[in-house]
A and B are shown apart, each in its own frame.
Chain A
Amino acid sequence: MGTMEQLTLQLRETAREILESKKAAAVIGWEMGTFWYSTAPAILTRPEETERLVWNEYCLNNLAKYLLDFQNTDEKVAIFARGCDYRGINRLIQDKQIDRDKVLIIGLSCPGMKDDKKARELGQNADIPLAKKCEECTYPDALAYDLWVGEPKEAAKPAKAEAKVFPEVESLEQMTADDKYENFAANYEKCLRCYACRNVCPACSCRECIFGNSSKEWSAKANNLSENMFFALTRALHVAGRCIQCGECERICPVNIPIMLLNKKIIQDIDHLFGPYDAGLDPEDKMPLGSFEFTDPEEFM
């Protein structure tokens, strides 16, 4: 049985071996954070540092995005990857931000992580529920990998997307236009425009985000509802068809905006219009909004 403690040891061992044998110049994993319910991404380059690695029920961060730190190096980087990290890595490969040959994927099977906010609230002895993003997870394991840590796995079957129906999108669709607007306004009135959702997102890899470029005149820096809504909609459309549903944006939002609602609405619409599609399963696949067929539906035209 691989309890998480035992697995942590295996993680450390694997990472040490990789760094010692110079199979990769760095290993990306998790280390303990400030509290018992927090971890932080760890980027390790020396074998002795690997003792810092942990694998526990609060490894909430998606690690994929940290690969971007190595964009300008020629060295290989090893990264621990569950389903969500794996899809994030594919996101970056498909967006041509990293090369597959420069990444050593160490596959993991994820039992689902716990809600750190609930943990802080309820205390260490309480029964802590799963994080929302993990409750909804459909791909807990890395689908392809170079190394595997944990119980040996049967060869994964090629994943196939299924048409998704999200209850929160369904109830949103039931609302009148006015109610939708009110709901939207109420959510985004709170937005601080801290851009944490953007910074954590594996689909956000522009060299210069248009929200950081005031010369383009698209948006102003003012923090008001109109600009916030413009930001929210633009971001939703920029990740449309590419969102890997890791839920990091929503988890990280300091004012608890249900950011995934817009993403899910678009994902559901894409499934409906262009057939079921889960982003980040295969970097070679055809992105529904990054390709066209002459038979594409165009009822909206």
Chain B
Amino acid sequence: MKRVGVFVCHCGTNISGTVDCAQVAEAAKDFPNVEYSIDYKYMCSEPGQEMIKKAIEEHKLNRIVVASCSPRMHEPTFQNCVERAGLNPYYVEMANIREHCSWVHPNEKEGATEKAIDLVRMAVAKAVRNQPLQKTTIPVTDRALVIGGGIAGIQAALDLANAGHVVDIVEREPSIGGKMAQIDKTFPTLDCSACILTPKMVDAAAHPNINLLTYSEIEKVDGFVGNFDVTIRQKARSIKMDVCTGCGICMEKCPVKVDSEFELGLAKRRAIYTPFPQAIPNKPVIDREHCTYFLRGKCGICSKLCPAGAVDYTQQDELLTRRYGAIIVATGFELFDYSVYGEYGYGKYPDVITGLQFERLINASGPTMGKLQRPSDKKEPKNIVIINCVGSRDEAKGKSYCSRTCCMYSAKHASLIRDKIKDSNVYVFYMDMRTPGKGYEEFYDRSREQYGTQYIRGRVSKIYPLNDKLIVRGEDTLLSQPVEVEADLVILATAMVAQPDADKLAQKIGIGYDKDNFYTEAHPKLAPVETHTQGVYLAGACQGPKDIPDSVAQASAAAAKACGLLSKPEILTEPIVTEVDEKTCAGCGTCLLICPYKAIDLKTLTERIAGEIVERKVATVNEGLCQGCGACTVACRSGSIYLKHYTDEQILAEVNALCL
């Protein structure tokens, strides 16, 4: 005998402001199998949950319908509640009368109440058919993978390692450090970036629980939460890492000079190089695309000079497969390519540079040893223009979003310039100033008041060279006047964009990404560092533009989530997975092809047909891999694969309750 209890929540006034909750509860009393029905202000609160537990006991309820918010919000809450009352948690069915009803029909009270009654009617029909489901356990491998060795990756790895978990950091560049290694000083404190980052890099390298896999990339990700089998390509470095002492003689004598990626084209590096002097590991790598030996088969100077005999031209890429319990993706960002902007010279004027190039120019360890000079003629610039929102907040040519960091780093740049060159003038063209962070507004104020930066609200319409100057034309929209500045140097605050291959990595791991290729969190508030793939977490700017404090905070959050997963030997799995009806499965394999999680396989079934033993293939689901998306259930023509808790029978019962 099914005895259903219906609990209608007001959600304060979120629901009851539109829906007549008492009327809904009253109407529910007449639905088949409903034994008890009541409304209450906050069903999720302690007294609300007590009310449910008491009703279960008093009215011998065995199916519970909660009409409230989205199940994404509080399904676990009510599942736990009925479990404590002795019922299977999957006997709870939620009717979403908030997101699906009161919030979308704020001006139609009567209609909304009617709709809420229908939603409850459907939920009751389904609840009656709900089956008890049991969670199962799967083992967890106590090892984490951090993809990306920038500040976010390093922080996440350190937190995990300090909690006692073994961590591998995979970094595709020859050194860890990421973008932060290129930055001079950090806002809002103006402390030196390297002073924060490099000790952390050393900590990571020296930590007994951390393994660095630099110059390596993710090749393939198989498996599922707790048991990801990841294949990592360790690119041929052409250096024997265990032999090299990092003395650097090889780099001094290499005859090849190419633009340094780290110095953003402002300086040269050799074909055998470390990206920067504080690189970790501080051992070089041979750039095979430019190395004379690899191009012409001759040279070999580095090999001859190396006192340790560490140069090995025959090294090959190596593939390494390891099992991980959790993955933290911290692959960071790239800078927007501003060459699409004709008004800023299509990237052709040498004295129009990006903010990150400026960081190198003002950096004590940069190509000019921190002496600010313009790239074209090495002169000290006196008039400097900074342009904000280059590529940000510009749907026509760039990105629709705000890059979040530019207002602040422009203020920082202005302050640094005025600090170094006392008689300089710094003009910042901005659209809006956005300084929402602790100490940020004060920092912006200081750049104006203490450092005398001149802020001009408006966009720049054109930059053109005149003699050795750059004429910057724009409009001061506050004064409604055209402005023209004779500048020596122009710095563009270019947008933060996703890594160019962010989508490909997401496809390998099986996580989502948005229209701009930033990775999607499972929920902005309920699960901000989780992805929709269990066991994969996000840290730093790969999820969206972020400054250093936010990246570090998110990295620690992701590490905490991964710790929660890795600290147990096994985890419970969601029983809402698909199951195959082997009796009718034709083994056509369509479900295999369309499963985005590779959770389905074919197996051979032996059975007796008309007295003969015959073999046939049927589909079988790996419950660890299945995420319960249900794509296979739709593709199966004979309806032989079904999603537990959302079976055809249950869904049709809802449809019938509504339509018949």
Contacts and interface: CB of A to CB of B under 8 A. Distances in A.
B584 A206 contact: yes
B133 interface: no
B596 to A, nearest CB: 7
A95 interface: yes
A109 interface: no
A206 B617 contact: no
B53 to A, nearest CB: 35
A238 B590 CA distance: 11
Interface of B: 503, 507, 583-590, 593-594, 596, 602, 609, 612, 614, 616-617, 635, 637-640, 648-649, 652
B596 A294 contact: no
Interface string A205-240: 111111001001110000000000000000000100
Given A213-B639, A216-B639, A290-B594, A97 B586 contact: yes
A267 B586 CA distance: 24
Contact of B586 (A207, A216, A217, A218): A207
Interface in A171-211: 205-210
26 contacts: A72-B614, A95-B586, A95-B588, A95-B590, A96-B588, A96-B589, A205-B588, A206-B588, A206-B637, A207-B583, A207-B585, A208-B583, A210-B638, A213-B639, A216-B639, A217-B648, A217-B652, A218-B639, A238-B637, A287-B590, A287-B593, A290-B590, A290-B594, A292-B594, A292-B596, A294-B507
Interface string A74-101: 0000000000000000000001110000
A209 B585 CA distance: 10
A291 interface: yes
Contacts of B609: 72
Nearest to B648: A216
A107 B456 CA distance: 79
A96 B589 CA distance: 7
B581 to A, nearest CB: 9
Nearest to B642: A216
A249 to B, nearest CB: 15
A294 B617 contact: no
B637 A210 contact: yes
Contacts of B593: 287, 290-291
Of residues B503, B584, B594, B616, which shows the largest number of chain A Cβ atoms within 10 Å of its Cβ?
B584
Given A97-B586, A206-B584, A291 B637 contact: no
Among A71, A208, A209, A292, chain B packs the most CB atoms within 10 A around the CB of A208
Choose among B635, B637, B652 the residue with the greatest number of A CB atoms under 10 Å from its CB: B637
Contacts of A71: 616
B639 A96 contact: no
Dominant secondary structure of chain A at its interface with chain B:
loop
A294 B586 CA distance: 28
Contact of B639 (A95, A205, A210, A292): A210
A202 to B, nearest CB: 13
A294 B652 contact: no
Given A97-B588, A207-B586, 19 more contacts: A72-B614, A95-B589, A96-B588, A96-B602, A205-B586, A205-B588, A206-B588, A207-B583, A207-B585, A208-B584, A209-B638, A213-B639, A216-B639, A217-B648, A218-B639, A290-B590, A290-B594, A294-B503, A294-B507
Nearest to B595: A292
Contacts of A294: 503, 507
B612 A72 contact: yes
Nearest to B649: A217
Contacts of B596: 292
Contacts of A218: 639, 648, 652
A95 B635 CA distance: 13
Nearest to A293: B507
Nearest 9 A/B pairs, CB to CB: A206-B638, A208-B584, A95-B588, A290-B593, A72-B614, A238-B637, A207-B586, A206-B586, A210-B639
A252 B589 CA distance: 29
B657 to A, nearest CB: 13
Contact of A96 (B594, B617, B649): B617
Interface in A23-53: none
Contact of B638 (A96, A208, A290): A208
A96 B587 contact: yes
Contacts of B602: 96
Contacts of B589: 95-96
A270 to B, nearest CB: 15
A199 B593 CA distance: 25
A110 to B, nearest CB: 28
Nearest to B656: A217
